[in-house]
Each structure stands twice: as C-alpha cells, then as structure tokens.
Copies of this chain bind each other. A is one copy, B any other.
Amino acid sequence: MRAPLTYQRLLDLIQQRQTMLCVGLDTDPERIPACLRNEPDPVLAFHKAIVEATADLCIAYKPNLAFFEAMGPAGMECFARTVECLPSEALCIADAKRGDIGNTADRYAHAFYDVYGVDAVTLHAYMGRDSVQPFLGRTGKWAVVLGLTSNSGAADFQEKTAADGRPFYRHMVDAALSWGSHEDTMLVVGATRPAALAALRVDFPQHFFLVPGIGAQGGDLEAVIQAGCTSHNNLIINASRSILYASSGSDFAEKAREAAQDLSKKMADLMTGRP
C-alpha cells in the first residue's frame, strides 16, 4: 500500500522531476504498432511499453475511459490491468467525466477509488454539490472538475454570459471549487485558452489545474506555463496523441520516450527561474 498522493507530495514530485507532464492513455486499438498486434491484450501491452518508456519523465497518467469502454467488458479488465502497471509514485487520473446525483455518485466514487484504485477522477459538476461530494475528503484522492475545456464546443455553453457579466464557466468554477479544498479538488482548464487560465490562476492560486489540449489540440506549452504557473508549479499538463503515436513502428516506445523527454525538458526550462 503506497502513501496517499497528497497536495504536498505532488508538489514535491513536480519539483524533484522538474516536469508537470501527464501522459494521456487514449489508445485507439487501430493505431497500435503492428509489432504488438499478436499480444494476448495488445492495448495492455502497448500501455505497459509506453509506461515503461515514460515512467521517469512524467508525474501522472490519465487513462481515458471511453477508449476502454469501447472495447466492451474486456476493455474494463484492460483498464484495471493498466492502472496496476502504473508506477506507484505517479498520480493516476481516470478521465471518466462522470457526474450524477448523490447516491449514484457514491457508486462512481466507489468504482474508481476503491474497485479500480485510481487517485483522481474527472467530473462534470453540472448537477451540483451532491454529484461531487462523494469524491471529496479522502486523503490523496482527487475530484478533477471541468471548468473551461479545450474543445470548440466550449463556446456553445461555457463561454456564454451570466447576469454578472462573467461567463458561465466562471460560475461553475466558483461553485465547484467551493465544495472542497485545494487538497481534494483540481480544476480542468484547456490549454487553448491561456488568458482564461491566467485569470483563473489569479483567483485560485493554490488549486492544481489539469491542462489538456497541448499537441494535437493546438495549445501552446509556453503560453500555458506562463499563464498557469505559480511558484508552486501546481499545474499538470497532459499530452496524449503526440506521445502515444510518436511512431507507429517497432521503435514506438523509444519515440514516445523522446516525445515525453522533449516536453518535459521544455517544461523544466519554463519552470526554472520562476519565483
């Protein structure tokens, strides 16, 4: 049984490794290198190789549940085995984007925290406090609530304006971050919106922000770190496709390592020298 990944332990890990990198596991079975196709579970074999190649270069992994669910019940077995193969010092974020009424949220929290043993779960907070509450208040466990997302659809609802002139997503953030603390809640802010990231950082200096959207989605790493970093370095920056599919050949693990190394080196350079 490893020690819980508390706020301070995560900060220490980022400091030690000089990286904020989270490797997203959004694995499309059709994009797995041909050399793994004959493995009993090719996706699991791919994840093991990616994890082995990147374990010392990141601080978190983020398996995306949709990709496991699309493989049917066997996919959830693969998810369980994937979680087991992650290094014990890294944060495991189930990118599940769940969100339901209290008694159902209880079941989701039990599923992810206790049955699958992950550290953190991404959540929709649209249904309010009782939908997030079961994920809070457990040392080293994290509710990662959606604030402003990196996709084009963020304009359809999140960025519309409320009565006080602020966008809807700011109301979502204010509500969702009021239920817990920076010790059990993180916020998702897309890399494609650095100005919003900077504004949120001013109001929420302590919370970890999970930032997806660099790489394939077009977010700029330097802008994200400039906007979102404090002296705490309390950012977790996700990259998925640019690492997973750095090569489709038998050198995929080596190329994934190079891609992770490249990102982590850039992060270290941008972190260095901050107050």
Give the B-binding residues of A (Cβ under 8 A): 26, 64, 66-67, 69-77, 79-80, 95, 97-105, 107-108, 110-112, 115-116, 124-131, 146, 149-158, 160-163, 165, 168, 171-172, 175, 217
Contacts and interface: CB of A to CB of B under 8 A. Distances in A.
Which of A67, A107, A126 has the most CB atoms of chain B within a 10 A radius of its CB? A126
A156 B128 contact: yes
A124 B99 contact: yes
A23 to B, nearest CB: 16
Contacts of A74: 73
The number of times this chain is found in the oligomer is: 2
A66 B162 contact: no
A87 B244 CA distance: 42
Contact of A157 (B80, B103, B128, B155): B128
A171 B169 CA distance: 13
A243 B132 CA distance: 27
B111 A130 contact: no
Nearest to A74: B73
A252 B156 CA distance: 46
Contact of A150 (B97, B101, B157): B101
Given A127-B153, A127-B157, 8 more contacts: A64-B107, A66-B98, A66-B104, A67-B104, A69-B112, A70-B111, A124-B126, A131-B151
A90 B202 CA distance: 52
A13 B47 CA distance: 47
9 contacts: A69-B111, A71-B115, A126-B146, A127-B149, A127-B158, A128-B152, A128-B153, A157-B171, A162-B168
A128 to B, nearest CB: 2
A102 B115 CA distance: 28
Contacts of A149: 101, 126-128
Contacts of A103: 26
B126 A70 contact: no
Contact of A126 (B98, B130, B158): B158
A161 B131 CA distance: 20
